[in-house]
Structure 1
């Protein structure tokens, strides 16, 4: 894998090449933006060291081109401008990291090594789990690993006609998932008909599913098609399926087995072509064990299971969703909001989100309606959530102990921070991970607070955590493959 150095100052480019070659990296050098893009489009480049001030084009424009053309390269920006504004613009444009001239040898080599590792893991993840169905096509917002698994599941499931059983807490997006499966399937031209089994009176649910004839019961003033008939050629989504009474579960089972419906008040059967997707926020196996859900119906429906992750398990998706809803509702209300303060983002990340994405939607809408911006502050969130605002406390450095050395904290920490012992003789990446994970634990799991303690950006910590998770998955896959028994050849 090659490192492309984009630098118009020949002496600096020569220094970078010398340092990287000595560290074992293969390098190439160009001195203009046009030459860089031409080289990238030929392939074979894994990491690009990009100077922002080039003679023909600004480096940010190259970043935009890399992102728009989806060129497979990890970009590290190298510039003499150390301003926060430039760093933010580069990261927003897709840069992996940002280093300032003059670059120390260790910093340069470590950054390139980390960038190469990221590119390798990205390639592995794309072959193992990257779905063709993207979040933009599913209606979801978020790119965390749990959601990447959901996109992959949707891609696989959509090609089948088998029943789908979606589980997950309330507000996790079970209906959004069902719609995504329908839109990605060969049935997408047919109707998607949702029916909430918990929102319909028990004496009307059979009619709502299968339809009825005029006069079949009080209030039946005309013939009416049910949801199953309306979904003919498409998808029937039965939400809160565990709310169905046992007698109606038996009729649903007959419908699934025969593919025929019988309207209330009718003696005739009619064939329909329907794919059934159902969902519940309960534990369906427990419902079966306790006799509230038919076992035979469960196994008829539970062919392709999908378990939606709760919002609290989706990491950086929390902030991505918050910004998404802020943009939508601010436009609806005719107000201008620029975003969330660091303390507000910390409050969002620290919250448990028992109501999941639905709770997030309601919270952001209330914040927009009750405030005028331009920044959402932590105390605004506390007021809307009905909690007493607490003043923000400046994070203090964590003291560490290394064998034979002691590094005291620079400020008083009030005895709240634990000590960390780091054994020497380990690679930098391992020590870095130990420090970051220990700091996250000490900060109660808050990545924004951890970022303030370590004086790095929160996005960098989110990326590192996702890289570690991807690396663990890669190792697990490799170990699993090695552990598979090899079948002995038959003796003849």
Structure 2
């Protein structure tokens, strides 16, 4: 056997002793460990005490039928692959059982070659699923980043997240870009009853509007030009698990209708397909004021109330500056190891600069700043000169003033605000959009709508000038 390193265990269930005896002999010759049960109840007792890879069960048995046993097995030990045995006249019933989770069926009278082939394929699938599960666990462990900090505002947010985790209620994470909303979503999922099931993160702002519906709900083959095959959406991927919708405020109104149905009815409608049931716990995140979006007609009020069951505000880094030394040390250890640098800490001057910076990009900006400092550091400690220039500016992170004359066209004001904010964020359009409270696509549209305005010549401000902070 190549499907598993250890001797596989096969459980055979049938009320006919002759069938049990025959299958035990056939499978034993293939170096498999065989357990037998004459009833569904006995089979469940064996499954509770012995690791089983494949179960072969008759479809029609007195008392607990094969279908009833299949349902119980998938609830008790879903990793076990099930093969149904059936007479020729009940093939339709066997096909129905496969829809309930059976891997395959074999017809009576039983043939040795067919039995061995079916069991080997089931063992191969069991091994593949187990390997995939292990790789996912390793990946999750490798990518699982802790939420670092001990400030009161952070602990309060984490406490609320921990309380929300035990329920199935929808959680809405509120906060600026870079505060760690996805980390909070993972924290909630890891402390929830669905911790062993998948978490499917989806950034709605990163998906073009033309494919967002298909990405969320899936599509059938031929549903639109280019749909050469059917595809599952993120809801289907997250079935029995958790779906994290980041930047939910970016979802267009016509897709919000389908999202509302998924929340209310537990049903999704793939593009070009039929309604399908899903079991998904939803966690949403946004950096927008959704209540204001509702008033402006850009977000459905009924959907807002559906996702705003448990709102949790993830604090910006400037509101928990006491966590800066902890975060700095955390990122330093990561990047010192990653880049092979013998850097052990920060000078007092560097920590002072970091602790007195406004961090408009929040933890994400800090992570990048520490990596840069570690790479450029020439000694054993990161000094203030290793930090990005904006951190060395005494006014860093506390905003800049931009002046406009009364009567300046609004379009020019908007473009100037966008270009100046992009300078501040060093070209990061997503961060600029977050700071301005607009969609990323709005930045592209505004910049493409006209030529970039020239820098205004220096002038003396008069009392009629407006100062925009």
| TM-score interval, normalised by the smaller of the two chains | 0.5 to 0.7
1:346 aligned to which of 328, 342, 352: 352
Structure 1 match to 2:373: 367
Preserved CA contact (<8 Å) 1:382 1:388: no
User: Unpaired runs of 5+ in structure 2?
Assistant: 1-143, 396-469
2:328 aligned to which of 322, 328, 341: 322
Query: How much has 1:237 moved relative to structure 2?
Result: 0.6
The 1:387–1:287 alpha-carbon spacing in structure 2 relative to 1, beyond 3 Å, is: same
1:237 aligned to which of 239, 244, 247: 244
Query: How much has 1:382 moved relative to structure 2?
Result: 4.7
Alignment of 1:18-167 (within 5 A): 139-167=146-174
Query: How much has 1:371 moved relative to structure 2?
Result: 2.2
Following the alignment from structure 1 to structure 2, what is the Cα–Cα distance between the partners of residues 204 and 184? 32
Following the alignment from structure 2 to structure 1, what is the Cα–Cα distance between the partners of residues 322 and 348? 14
Preserved CA contact (<8 Å) 1:367 1:381: yes
Query: How much has 1:372 moved relative to structure 2?
Result: 2.5
Following the alignment from structure 1 to structure 2, what is the Cα–Cα distance between the partners of residues 179 and 275? 12
Query: How much has 1:151 moved relative to structure 2?
Result: 2.0
Query: How much has 1:369 moved relative to structure 2?
Result: 1.6
Following the alignment from structure 1 to structure 2, what is the Cα–Cα distance between the partners of residues 159 and 177? 14
Q: Does structure 1 residue 169 correspond to structure 2 residue 176? A: yes
1:297 aligned to which of 286, 303, 307: 303
Query: Deviations 1:156-215 (Å, cap 9, x if unpaired)?
Result: 001110111110010000010011101100011111001110001101000001000111
Q: Does structure 1 residue 310 correspond to structure 2 residue 316? A: yes
Structure 2 match to 1:393: none
1:332 aligned to which of 329, 338, 341: 338
Structure 2 match to 1:186: 193
Instruction: Count residues in correspondence.
Output: 252
Preserved CA contact (<8 Å) 1:232 1:272: yes
Following the alignment from structure 1 to structure 2, what is the Cα–Cα distance between the partners of residues 388 and 152? 36
Following the alignment from structure 1 to structure 2, what is the Cα–Cα distance between the partners of residues 389 and 274? 48
Query: How much has 1:275 moved relative to structure 2?
Result: 0.6
Following the alignment from structure 1 to structure 2, what is the Cα–Cα distance between the partners of residues 149 and 299? 23
Query: How much has 1:269 moved relative to structure 2?
Result: 1.2
Instruction: Please state whether the residue corresponding to 1:236 is helix, strand or coil.
Output: strand
Q: Does structure 1 residue 220 correspond to structure 2 residue 190? A: no
Q: Does structure 1 residue 357 correspond to structure 2 residue 363? A: yes
Preserved CA contact (<8 Å) 2:354 2:391: no
Preserved CA contact (<8 Å) 2:372 2:388: no
Instruction: Please state whether the residue corresponding to 2:167 is helix, strand or coil.
Output: coil
Following the alignment from structure 1 to structure 2, what is the Cα–Cα distance between the partners of residues 175 and 346? 28
Structure 1 match to 2:60: none
Following the alignment from structure 1 to structure 2, what is the Cα–Cα distance between the partners of residues 153 and 389? 36
The 1:381–1:296 alpha-carbon spacing in structure 2 relative to 1, beyond 3 Å, is: same
Following the alignment from structure 1 to structure 2, what is the Cα–Cα distance between the partners of residues 236 and 258? 16
Following the alignment from structure 2 to structure 1, what is the Cα–Cα distance between the partners of residues 249 and 360? 21
The TM-score with structure 2 as length reference comes to 0.52
Following the alignment from structure 1 to structure 2, what is the Cα–Cα distance between the partners of residues 196 and 155? 23
Larger radius of gyration: 2
2:205 aligned to which of 198, 213, 233: 198
Query: How much has 1:379 moved relative to structure 2?
Result: 2.1
Following the alignment from structure 1 to structure 2, what is the Cα–Cα distance between the partners of residues 157 and 287? 25
Alignment of 1:389-468 (within 5 A): none
Preserved CA contact (<8 Å) 1:238 1:279: yes
Preserved CA contact (<8 Å) 1:178 1:237: yes
Structure 2 match to 1:50: none
Preserved CA contact (<8 Å) 1:335 1:372: no
The 1:368–1:344 alpha-carbon spacing in structure 2 relative to 1, beyond 3 Å, is: same
Instruction: Please state whether the residue corresponding to 2:155 is helix, strand or coil.
Output: helix
Following the alignment from structure 1 to structure 2, what is the Cα–Cα distance between the partners of residues 148 and 375? 30
Structure 2 match to 1:256: 263
Alignment of 1:1-12 (within 5 A): none
> Please, what is the CA RMSD of the aligned residues?
1.7
Instruction: Please state whether the residue corresponding to 1:156 is helix, strand or coil.
Output: helix
Following the alignment from structure 2 to structure 1, what is the Cα–Cα distance between the partners of residues 338 and 145? 23
Query: Deviations 1:398-451 (Å, cap 9, x if unpaired)?
Result: xxxxxxxxxxxxxxxxxxxxxxxxxxxxxxxxxxxxxxxxxxxxxxxxxxxxxx
